[in-house]
């Protein structure tokens, strides 16, 4: 199975900050990577697919990049509603998820 | 607006079979891939497997021997059966739709999730 390692696992930031989360794959996955946001008690929400394509309806402050084994999710200006846990997912079979990055208010 | 709703018992005894159904409303089950994904309390996400509307399936090898996913197009539903459950199978179980008519684009619609506890 392809392992995904997210860093950091925990991030403390302020409203307005630029935040970047990294996801590293144990082997190349081309651009078959998605990013999700999950709030407590809720299902994950798709933010980015194909590594860098913004899902319809997702604010443009979210952006994704990378290919192969290293990927990033960037929030250009953190908003109060962005405090949540973020997961990456690779779509080769078997699909796997990263361990998550919890973004909390500083 | 597409909506997914999981249903099934919230408590299953060890060694028994977990059975869940996902009902899709606001859209057809046709032409899409549909998955089951679970999340143990306080932990990360695990992909269980997917089914295409035509009935072809793909399972996580770590669970393959215990899992069956099936589809009922007449009811716009798909289902999960997991046999020989243990406490390690206690989790919130989500059903989800794969985006863009393929399985490469992540999951754009999710059910609210249902907690299944394995306990005697």
- Per-residue pLDDT of A46-97, as tens digits, reads 999 999 999 999 999 999 999 999 999 999 999 999 999 999 999 999 999 9
User: Cα–Cα distance between B101 and B111 in angstroms, integer?
Assistant: 18
Q: Mean pLDDT for chain A?
A: 97
Inter-residue contact B77 to B24 (CB < 8 Å): yes
User: Cα–Cα distance between A106 and B13 in angstroms, integer?
Assistant: 43
Between the CA of residue B29 and those of A81, A95, B23, B59, what are the distances in Å? Answer: 32, 21, 9, 19
pLDDT at B59 over 90: yes
pLDDT of residue A4: 98
DSSP string, B46-66: EEEEEEETTS-EEE-TTTGGG
Q: How confident is the model at residue A106 (pLDDT cuts 50, 70, 90)?
A: confident
CB of A71 less than 8 A from some CB of B: no
User: Cα–Cα distance between B78 and B69 in angstroms, integer?
Assistant: 7
pLDDT of residue B5: 98
In this complex, the residue of B59, B105, B113 whose CB is nearest that of residue A49 is B105
Q: How confident is the model at residue B6 (pLDDT cuts 50, 70, 90)?
A: very high
pLDDT at B37 over 90: yes
Q: Which of B1, B106, B110 to mutate to test the interface with A (most CBs of A within 10 A)?
A: B106
Between the CA of residue B57 and those of A97, B1, B9, B49, B106, what are the distances in Å? Answer: 20, 26, 24, 7, 17
Q: How far is B105 from chain A (nearest CA, A)?
A: 5
User: Cα–Cα distance between A3 and A40 in angstroms, integer?
Assistant: 24
pLDDT by residue (tens digit) across B77-106?
999 999 999 999 999 999 999 998 888 899
Q: Quick one: what percent of chain B has pLDDT higher than 90?
A: 95
pLDDT of residue A83: 93
Q: How confident is the model at residue B76 (pLDDT cuts 50, 70, 90)?
A: very high
The full length of chain B comes to: 120
* All residues at 6 or more sequence positions from A20 whose CB lies less than 8 Å from its CB, including other chains: A72, A73, A74, A75
Give the least confident one: A11-20, B20-29, B44-53, B94-103.
B94-103
pLDDT of residue A54: 97
Q: Which of A106, A56, A51, A91 is nearest to A73 (CA)?
A: A51
Inter-residue contact A14 to A106 (CB < 8 Å): yes
Inter-chain CB proximity A98 and B94 less than 8 Å: no
Q: Which residues of A touch B44 (CB under 8 A)?
A: 87, 97-100
Q: Which residues of B touch A97 (CB under 8 A)?
A: 44-47
Inter-chain CB proximity A55 and B108 less than 8 Å: yes
């Amino acid at each position: 199975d392809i392992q995904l390692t997210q860093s950091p696992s925990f991030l403390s930031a302020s409203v307005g900050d630029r935040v970047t989360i990294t996801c590293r794959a144990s082997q190349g996955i081309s651009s078959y990577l998605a990013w999700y946001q999950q709030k407590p008690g809720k299902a994950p929400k798709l933010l980015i697919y194909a590594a860098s394509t913004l899902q319809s309806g997702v604010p443009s402050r979210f952006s994704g990049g990378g290919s192969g084994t290293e990927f990033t999710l960037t929030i250009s200006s953190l908003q109060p509603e962005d405090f949540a846990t973020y997961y990456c997912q690779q779509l080769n079979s078997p699909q796997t998820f990263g361990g998550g990055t919890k973004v909390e208010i500083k | 607006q597409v909506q997914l709703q999981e249903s099934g018992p919230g408590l299953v005894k060890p060694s028994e079979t977990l059975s869940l159904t996902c009902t899709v409303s606001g859209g057809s089950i046709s032409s899409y891939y549909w998955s089951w994904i679970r999340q143990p309390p306080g932990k990360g996400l695990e992909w269980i497997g997917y089914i295409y509307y035509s009935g072809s399936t793909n399972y996580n090898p770590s669970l393959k021997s215990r899992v069956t996913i099936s589809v009922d197009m007449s009811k716009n539903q798909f289902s999960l059966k997991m046999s020989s459950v243990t406490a390690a199978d206690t989790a919130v179980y989500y059903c989800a739709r794969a985006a863009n008519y393929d399985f490469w684009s992540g999951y754009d619609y999710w059910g609210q999730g249902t907690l299944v506890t394995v306990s005697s």
